[in-house]
């Protein structure tokens, strides 16, 4: 980890003026491995509210506040929703340092749904993108199946062929994809306002993924959203985790 560092305090640091919902955001007393690891890590960039941990493949950006996962409402509206807590922007900047140059290729970020994750502390996967995914997205954009603005995000489905768990074939999955020029906004709030609110779906069931457009960040970013029961066969099914797109396990 680079930059100035500081030693973390005891469990329970929080930016909130009042306690968050323990069912949706977690409790500081929770016995979750990743939450403990985050606090046992002795170094993080000075003044930040996140740290970087090594994952099985790639890295993880982990908030130092107790945030259970994507379902925590304080990510949408609350202390975790301001620009100082733009975890996606920070994760992209850090991932660029590790994966932005050869031989890594295209990289991306991802958060799993509540039902598809193994740890109940918010973590953003930073990893290389599965081969072929970037090409699928570029072709979909050229074909007009990628939304051009957030208001159209939930209206179009795009098929992306990712990892099938065995590397024997590319596994087609359905995603709602929108192209955006930057990451200088609250992605959790955008998902909630433009997808969850109009569809009536559950925030906890969503996966959210960021992949650089143009083979990196040359042409903005693709935001991919899906959930396990988004679409049923024979059309490509949805998925609640980011592993299909990112090499993170």
Residue 82: CB partners within 8 Å, gap ≥ 6?
none
Q: Are residues 204 and 152 in the same domain?
A: yes
pTM for the full model?
Answer: 0.85
Give the full edge-to-edge strand order of the sheet including 50-54: 50-54, 59-63, 124-128, 107-111, 206-212, 221-227, 170-180, 157-163
Name the domain count of the chain.
Answer: 2
User: How would DSSP label each residue in 183-222?
Assistant: --S-HHHHHIIIIIHHHT--GGGEEEEEEEGGGTTTT-EE
Closest to 242 (Cα-Cα) out of 214, 222, 219, 213? 222
- In this structure, is residue 140 part of a structural domain? yes
- In this structure, is residue 61 part of a structural domain? yes
Instruction: Tell me how far apart the alpha carbons of residues 162 and 170 are, in angstroms, rounded to a whole number.
Output: 5
Report percent pLDDT > 90 for the chain: 51
Which residue range forms the structural domain that includes residue 193? 133-227
pLDDT tens per residue, range 122-153: 999 999 899 889 999 999 999 999 999 999 99
Q: Are residues 122 and 138 in the same domain?
A: no
- Contact between 133 and 151 under an 8 Å Cβ cutoff? The reply is no
Distances 73 to 23, 124, 191 between C-alpha atoms, Å: 11, 17, 12
pLDDT tens per residue, range 210-244: 999 986 667 899 999 999 999 887 789 999 999 99
- In this structure, is residue 5 part of a structural domain? no
pLDDT tens per residue, range 155-172: 989 999 988 766 656 789
pLDDT tens per residue, range 46-73: 777 888 877 667 788 998 888 999 999 9
**106: number of CA atoms within 13 Å, CB side?**
25
- Cα angle 68-69-74, degrees, rounded to a multiple of 5: 85
- In this structure, is residue 158 part of a structural domain? yes
């Amino acid at each position: 980890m680079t930059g100035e560092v500081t030693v973390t305090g005891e469990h329970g640091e929080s930016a909130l003026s009042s306690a968050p919902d323990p069912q949706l955001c977690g409790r500081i007393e929770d016995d979750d491995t990743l939450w403990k690891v985050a606090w046992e890590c002795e170094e993080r960039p000075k003044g930040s509210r996140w740290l970087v941990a090594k994952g099985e493949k790639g890295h993880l950006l982990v908030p130092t506040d107790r945030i259970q996962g994507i379902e925590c409402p304080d990510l949408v509206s609350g202390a975790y929703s301001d620009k100082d807590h733009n975890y996606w922007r920070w994760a992209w900047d850090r991932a660029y340092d590790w994966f932005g140059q050869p031989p890594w290729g295209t990289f991306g970020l991802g958060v799993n749904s509540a039902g598809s994750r193994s740890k109940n502390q918010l973590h953003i996967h930073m990893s290389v993108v599965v081969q072929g995914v970037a090409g699928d997205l570029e072709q979909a954009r050229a074909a007009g199946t990628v939304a051009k603005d957030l208001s159209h995000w939930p209206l179009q489905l795009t098929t992306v062929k990712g990892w099938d768990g065995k590397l024997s074939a590319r596994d087609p999955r359905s995603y709602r994809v929108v192209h955006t020029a930057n990451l200088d906004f609250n992605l959790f709030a955008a998902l909630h306002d433009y997808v969850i609110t109009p569809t009536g779906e559950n925030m906890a069931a969503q996966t959210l993924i960021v992949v650089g457009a143009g083979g990196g960040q040359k042409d903005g970013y693709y935001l991919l959203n899906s959930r396990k029961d988004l679409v049923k066969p024979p059309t490509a099914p949805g998925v609640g985790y980011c592993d299909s797109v990112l090499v993170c396990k």
